[in-house]
């Protein structure tokens, strides 16, 4: 049956592209995906597949119960966009100013919707139950996965699999790993409270820019001098805002950044040392500060057996040229919440357009649409491998 399903997926490739390009033209950012959620719900309505709306927020979960007994497995696709202006010169360019599918979630959604349409045809012969899990707000903490888990909507699920179309990896490549696959992602905001004044009289001020610059510099020493060299951590200050004009010393500076880690012990060390650095520098400069540290997504921890099933599934997809175990990625994903709740695995499907090197979250980001049927075949292949393993 798997070969027939794969052929059916190929037969609907043009519809998959059509859906993806429609969604690409009408992106909605995290927690604002109301029309996208309605589009997804309407699709399942036409297929006559039962679904739930507003799961954990804007989430949509459709349930296809097979004609034969088996396990219940969730297949997940996220559907939010980013607050980025689309700079591509393509017919399907975003029509919503300041919003863009710059991470491939439109492709994830098209992949899962068409897979659902295909599997509806095979419902009577299907072993077990598929949950088509359409998740909102992956891009912005606290994310959509956590409230979906907390809603209890997945309590009856036996396993969960997810895919990310990966635009920097060649088409035909599958990447994943057992254990920690993607990093935990925290966010911090530091406000330096100095004393402003005229640029000609710095001795009468507490220069928030100078203090902030020292903080940025010393934060890098946490990774190089406080974290075990055999461990991994990243501290990035992505925003430094201070001052209004060239000849006035700023009284306040704001630093916003991210911490990435692969295990919670390192997270604790970095968090403690970060506050120590800020407190010490501000004390030395007789300045005040405010530190807000927000714990974000935990690391994505793939389960061993389910990871093996992803590799098994790859062997049944002719378009997959290589399936490799890669080093942990320092990007984050709230799919981690599903894996903390249920067994499962997350994997990348290569979606690189030859000749383009635009990374995720770039204004000219795009995907090779031929990756979508590969992802669909991988997801359903993992589903069948899980059913076979647990029958």
Residue ranges and CATH numbers for the domains of the chain are 2-182+299-389 (3.40.630.10), 184-297 (3.30.70.360)
Choice among 28, 86, 138, 158 that is catalytic: 138
Record the tokens describing residue 173, joined without a space: 């490549």
Share of residues in the chain with pLDDT > 90 (%): 99
265 has binding-site annotation? no
| pLDDT at position 1 | 92
The burial class, CB within 10 Å (0-12 / 13-18 / 19+), for 65 is middle
Asked about 106 being catalytic, the answer comes back as no
Share of residues in the chain with pLDDT > 70 (%): 100
Instruction: Determine the average pLDDT of the residues in 79-105.
Output: 98
Summary mean pLDDT of the chain: 97
105 has binding-site annotation? yes
Task: Give the relative orientation of helices 371-389 and 304-314 as an angle to the nearest 10 degrees.
Answer: 130
DSSP string, 235-295: EEEEEEEE-SSTTEE-SEEEEEEEEEESSHHHHHHHHHHHHHHHHHHHHHTT-EEEEEEEE
* 304 band by pLDDT with thresholds 50, 70 and 90: very high
Q: Which residues touch 272 (CB under 8 Å, ≥6 apart)?
A: none
136 has binding-site annotation? no
Residue 67 CB neighbour total at 10 angstroms: 10
- pLDDT tens digits, one per residue of 97-125: 999 999 999 999 999 999 999 999 999 99
Instruction: Determine the average pLDDT of the residues in 366-390.
Output: 98
- pLDDT tens digits, one per residue of 156-181: 999 999 999 999 999 999 999 999 99
- pLDDT tens digits, one per residue of 245-290: 999 999 999 999 999 999 999 999 999 999 999 999 999 999 999 9
Instruction: Determine the average pLDDT of the residues in 83-107.
Output: 98
139 has binding-site annotation? yes
| pLDDT at position 349 | 98
**Residues 118 and 8: beta-carbon distance below 8 Å:** yes
Asked about 306 being catalytic, the answer comes back as no
Choice among 28, 78, 80, 273 that is catalytic: 80
282 has binding-site annotation? no
């Amino acid at each position: 049956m798997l070969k027939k399903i794969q052929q059916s997926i190929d037969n609907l490739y043009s519809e998959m592209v059509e859906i993806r390009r429609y969604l690409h033209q009408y992106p909605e950012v995290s927690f604002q995906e109301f029309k996208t959620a309605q589009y997804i719900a309407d699709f399942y309505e036409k297929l006559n597949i039962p679904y739930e709306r507003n799961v954990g927020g804007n989430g949509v979960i459709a349930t296809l119960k097979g004609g034969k007994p088996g396990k219940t497995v969730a297949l997940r696709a996220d559907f939010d966009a980013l607050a980025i202006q689309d700079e591509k010169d393509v017919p399907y360019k975003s029509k919503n100013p300041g919003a863009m599918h710059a991470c491939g979630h439109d492709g994830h959604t098209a992949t899962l919707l068409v897979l659902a349409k295909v599997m509806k045809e095979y419902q009577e012969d299907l072993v077990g139950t598929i949950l088509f899990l359409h998740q909102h707000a992956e891009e912005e903490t606290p994310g959509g996965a956590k409230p979906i888990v907390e809603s209890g909507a997945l309590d009856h699920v036996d396993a969960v699999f997810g895919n990310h179309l990966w635009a920097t990896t060649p088409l035909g490549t599958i990447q994943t790993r057992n254990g920690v696959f993607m990093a935990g992602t925290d966010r911090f905001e530091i406000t330096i409270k100095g004393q402003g004044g005229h640029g000609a009289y710095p001795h009468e001020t507490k220069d928030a820019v100078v203090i902030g610059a020292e903080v940025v510099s010393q934060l890098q020493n946490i990774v190089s001098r406080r974290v075990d060299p055999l461990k991994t951590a990243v501290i990035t200050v992505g925003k430094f805002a201070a001052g209004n004009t060239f000849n006035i010393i700023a009284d306040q500076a704001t630093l916003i950044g991210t911490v990435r880690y692969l295990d919670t012990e390192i997270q604790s060390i970095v968090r403690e040392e970060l506050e120590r650095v800020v407190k010490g520098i501000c004390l030395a400069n007789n300045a005040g500060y405010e530190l807000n540290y927000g714990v974000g997504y935990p690391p994505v921890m793939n389960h061993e057996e389910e990871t093996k099933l992803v590799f098994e599934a790859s062997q049944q997809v002719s378009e997959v040229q290589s399936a490799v175990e890669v080093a942990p990625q320092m990007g984050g994903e709230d799919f981690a919440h599903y894996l903390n709740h249920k067994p499962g695995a997350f994997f990348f499907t290569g979606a690189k357009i030859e000749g383009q090197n635009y990374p995720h979250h770039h204004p000219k980001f795009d995907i090779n649409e031929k990756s979508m049927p590969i992802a669909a075949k991988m997801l359903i292949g993992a589903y069948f491998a899980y059913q076979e393993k647990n029958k």
